[in-house]
Amino acid sequence: SQTIHQWPATLVQPVGSPLSLECTVEGTSNPNLYWYRQAAGRGLQLLFYSVGIGQISSEVPQNLSASRPQDRQFILSSKKLLLSDSGFYLCAWSVSPWETQYFGPGTRLLVL
């Protein structure tokens, strides 16, 4: 069966520091991968999605970037964190863009 992992589970970072969040998927090949952010008490906002290695689409302009160095690895990064980057970051995967998305456990980021 397929599983999706995210780490770290929680992270506290100072403003201006770099960021690297990792997501990996097991048990499937060539998944579609997604990064979402959920602000406190609000819905999910799609940040990036990827249909293959090295292929990244950005949904909103922001301080973050994403990379997909391997088939089942998706990384969310920032060179300098802002206070507004705080939130709950969720990685998801699907077999194809129009099929069910399955979410990871999330990373809670607090920027101070």
Partner 1 sequence: DAKTTQPTSMDCAEGRAANLPCNHSTISGNEYVYWYRQIHSQGPQYIIHGLKNNETNEMASLIITEDRKSSTLILPHATLRDTAVYYCIGHSSGANNLFFGTGTRLTVIP
Q: How far apart are CA 107 and CA 74, in angstroms?
A: 13
Q: What does the binding site for partner 1 look like in residue numbers (CB under 8 A)?
A: 6, 32, 34, 38, 42-44, 46, 49, 57, 59, 88, 90, 92, 97-98, 100-106, 108
Q: Write out the DSSP string of 87-106.
A: EEEEEEEESSTTS--EE---
Per-residue buried b or exposed e for 49-67, using 16+ beta carbons within 10 Å of the residue's own CB: bbeeeeebeeeeeeebebb
**Cβ of residue 73: shortest distance to partner 1, in angstroms?**
18
Nearer of residues 15 and 60 to partner 1, judged by Cβ: 60
Least CB distance from residue 20 to partner 1, whole Å? 19
Closer CB to partner 1, residue 45 or residue 65?
45
Q: Nearest distance from residue 97's CB to partner 1, in Å?
A: 5
Q: Closest CB to partner 1 among 50 and 78?
A: 50
**CA dihedral for 78, 80, 82, 86, sign (positive or negative):** positive
